[in-house]
Amino acid sequence: MQRRRTVALVVLDSVGLGALPDAAEFGVTPEAPHGDAGAHTLDHALAAAGEAGAAGEAGAAGEAGAAGEAGDDVDLPNLTRLGLGMVPGVTSLPTHDAPTGAFGRMRERSKAKDTTTGHWEFVGVELEQPFRTYERFPDEVMAAFDAATGRAHLGNRPASGTVVLDELGEAHLETGAPIVYTSADSVFQVATHTDVVPLETLYAWCEAARAILTGDHLVARVIARPFDGVPGAWRRLHEHRHDYAVEPPVPTVLDALKDAGREVVGIGKIPDIYAHRGITRAVPTRDDMDGVDRTIEVLRGGVDGLAFGNLVGFDAIYGHRRDAPGYARALAAFDARLPELLAALGPDDLLMLVSDHGNDPTWHGTDHTREHGLLLVAGPGVVPRPIPTRDSFADVGATVAELLGVPWDGAGTSFAKLLFQEPY
């Protein structure tokens, strides 16, 4: 098998492909005793978008007494062409007579459903214990944080990033106290208005929080969440978000690539997720479409190694807000850009699309859902075929290492040979 010059690995954040066998153990509440069993981000987002469109057409036709015909169905023709509709469990898309990619899904071995765990497992870190999560941070943590900022704080509870601004944004403007909130993920999030707290100050506060949140109070990420705007029209500044992640506890595929002299270009929030370890170049992005633009630029410029990007909007803007039509529109927007990504590949390059967890926009609550990860591979020479369901996300990193000719003896089993050899 010829060594690849470039592997482009793009995470479609939260685009899950159906509940994992243990999904009933996650997301259990009195209102949802079966937890995440039955969740399916892709299918449910597309189905809900079609239903919403049909209802809208029916309402518009009501005066004439006619029912709406088809809804705003999202067919994702380019992802379908790669074989997405042929992945086990996917019912929202048609099969294709002549798919052009290798297609499948993955099980997450780590017992979690958060961004950090999923991304770490991609590169060979399988966690035996999930990161700690909080309903509220302990008094000793908040006292230390208040001492670092010189101010009191607001919040200290799980919350949606947009709802918490509606609830506490005005109090923040009046007091200057930072808004602290968390989620079902292992995160300590700090939101401040740029007219009240300069970005550099917010970042310094988050660095102080990172130093505090260690040991018994370790969290996976401290996240700076700057915003601007006015009451009723707050605007989160995603381009100035910054994540302060704990470092992976063991060497990763990224470390192996960098140590072997290969490039590792982190696009979007990827460098932050790995505490910038194993990254040779960081490329910031404003939003998902800018992320696609930057990935295309990186590929056209040539990468001797890995171009690794994350498109977070599916998760942050639509999944957590339970906006199924918006989620479907975001999928369609990416699908429309997919031919450009494929056209940017050179003759020795390869594109791999994956997802790190689910975030079913039709599900109860606002949390991630425990689902199979997406796995689509395309590029010159890739044999169109099903990839048997992988038993670990770590198979992604093992495969990237083999494709790039770099030794890797950590977690994961490479499926590189399945991509280029027949039969299998």
Residue 424 binned pLDDT confidence (cut-offs 50, 70, 90): very low
- Establish how many alpha carbons lie within 13 A of residue 171's alpha carbon, considering only the half-sphere containing its beta carbon: 14
Residue 422 binned pLDDT confidence (cut-offs 50, 70, 90): low
Are β-strands 102-106 and 373-378 bridged in parallel, bridged antiparallel, or unpaired? antiparallel
Mark which of 245, 268, 292 sits at the end of a domain.
Answer: 245
Are β-strands 154-158 and 179-182 bridged in parallel, bridged antiparallel, or unpaired? parallel
Tell me what the mean pLDDT of segment 48-55 comes to.
74
C-alpha closest to that of 362 among 327, 322, 328: 322
Q: Clarify whether residues 223 and 261 are in a common domain.
A: no
pLDDT recorded at residue 62: 47
Residue 130 lies in a domain: no
**CATH number of the domain where residue 202 is located:** 3.30.70.1250
Q: What's the length of the chain?
A: 424
> Is 421 a residue whose pLDDT tops 90?
no
Mark which of 203, 223, 245 sits at the end of a domain.
Answer: 245
Which of 241 and 55 is assigned the larger pLDDT? 241
Tell me what the mean pLDDT of segment 170-182 comes to.
98
Q: Clarify whether residues 278 and 397 are in a common domain.
A: yes
Reported as a single tens digit per residue, the pLDDT across 104-136 is 999 999 999 999 999 999 999 999 988 999 999
Domain count, the chain: 2
pLDDT recorded at residue 51: 80
pLDDT recorded at residue 272: 93
Q: Clarify whether residues 389 and 290 are in a common domain.
A: yes
Residue 18 lies in a domain: yes
pLDDT recorded at residue 50: 81
Name the residue range of residue 116's domain.
6-125+248-420
What are the φ/ψ torsions at residue 309 (nearest 5 degrees)?
-125, 160
pLDDT recorded at residue 68: 31
Residue 234 binned pLDDT confidence (cut-offs 50, 70, 90): very high
Tell me what the mean pLDDT of segment 152-180 comes to.
96
Q: Clarify whether residues 219 and 165 are in a common domain.
A: yes
Q: Clarify whether residues 92 and 199 are in a common domain.
A: no
Q: What percent of the chain has pLDDT over 70?
A: 94
Tell me what the mean pLDDT of segment 266-295 comes to.
96
Reported as a single tens digit per residue, the pLDDT across 189-233 is 999 999 999 999 999 999 999 999 999 999 999 999 999 999 999
Reported as a single tens digit per residue, the pLDDT across 349-373 is 999 999 999 999 999 988 999 999 9
Tell me what the mean pLDDT of segment 145-162 comes to.
95
Reported as a single tens digit per residue, the pLDDT across 3-44 is 889 999 999 999 999 999 999 999 998 988 999 999 999 999
pLDDT recorded at residue 24: 98
> Is 330 a residue whose pLDDT tops 70?
yes
Residue 184 binned pLDDT confidence (cut-offs 50, 70, 90): confident
> Is 240 a residue whose pLDDT tops 90?
yes
Q: What percent of the chain has pLDDT over 90?
A: 87
Tell me what the mean pLDDT of segment 374-387 comes to.
97
Tell me what the mean pLDDT of segment 307-332 comes to.
96
pLDDT recorded at residue 70: 35
Tell me what the mean pLDDT of segment 293-309 comes to.
97
Q: Clarify whether residues 104 and 199 are in a common domain.
A: no
- Tell me the β-bridge partners of 155: 180
> Is 67 a residue whose pLDDT tops 60?
no
Q: Do 157 and 180 form a contact (C-beta atoms < 8 A)? A: no
Whole-angstrom distance between the N-terminal and C-terminal Cα of the chain?
14
Q: What is d(CA 259, CA 278) in angstroms, rounded to the nearest whole number? A: 8
Residue 310 binned pLDDT confidence (cut-offs 50, 70, 90): very high
Residue 378 lies in a domain: yes
C-alpha closest to that of 42 among 252, 262, 334: 334
For residue 57, give Cα distances in angstroms to 49, 63, 157, 292, 362. 12, 11, 40, 32, 21
Q: Clarify whether residues 260 and 341 are in a common domain.
A: yes
Q: What is d(CA 177, CA 149) in angstroms, rounded to the nearest whole number? A: 9
Q: Clarify whether residues 71 and 149 are in a common domain.
A: no
- Tell me the β-bridge partners of 305: 6, 263
> Is 69 a residue whose pLDDT tops 50?
no
Residue 133 lies in a domain: no
**CATH number of the domain where residue 262 is located:** 3.40.720.10
Q: Clarify whether residues 31 and 111 are in a common domain.
A: yes
pLDDT recorded at residue 160: 86
Mark which of 245, 267, 299 sits at the end of a domain.
Answer: 245
pLDDT recorded at residue 3: 81
Residue 159 lies in a domain: yes
Residue 260 binned pLDDT confidence (cut-offs 50, 70, 90): very high
Q: Clarify whether residues 65 and 180 are in a common domain.
A: no
Q: Roughly what angle, to the nearest 10 degrees, separates helices 324-343 and 41-60?
A: 120
C-alpha closest to that of 376 among 357, 398, 350: 350
Q: Clarify whether residues 147 and 43 are in a common domain.
A: no
Q: Clarify whether residues 14 and 64 are in a common domain.
A: yes
Q: Please, what is the average pLDDT of the chain?
A: 93
Residue 132 lies in a domain: no
